[in-house]
Structure 1
Amino acid sequence: MSTENTIEHKIDKADLDGKQEYTITVYAENRIGLLNRIAIIFSKRKINIESLNSSASEIDGIHR
């Protein structure tokens, strides 16, 4: 399996402040520190993560 990640997103709703909420699904290899690296990408772009869920996917060695 390559180390490339697949990202799917959809707009859930727009707030009155003009801010948008997104649901983002990331498929990534189960490697130490990778979730932290993904969170840093959002943090550097000043994107707040309000909720986070991680689980095994149907593909061996890949988590969602």
Structure 2
Amino acid sequence: MNTYRVLQTDMEYLAAALTQVRVSVWHVLDDREHIIDYGGPVEAYSAVSIKIMGKRYFRDTFEFRTKK
């Protein structure tokens, strides 16, 4: 059972930004996953990227997680 939730929709990013929850950034490839950034609150988001702690990450490259 996962202890995290993967953010995928604009509504989920908006809710994360409004509640200021910590969002971590992961690179997942096949069965391997690596944490890229322990993250922080979502500062901005677009159809292409998510801004966390002053850095932008592409939505189609990374997975964004928050604790359940």
Pair in the same fold by TM > 0.5 = no
Structure number having the greater strand percentage: 2
Under a length normalisation based on structure 1, what TM-score does the superposition of the two structures give? 0.29
Which structure ranks higher in relative contact order (CA pairs < 8 Å, sequence separation ≥ 6)? 2
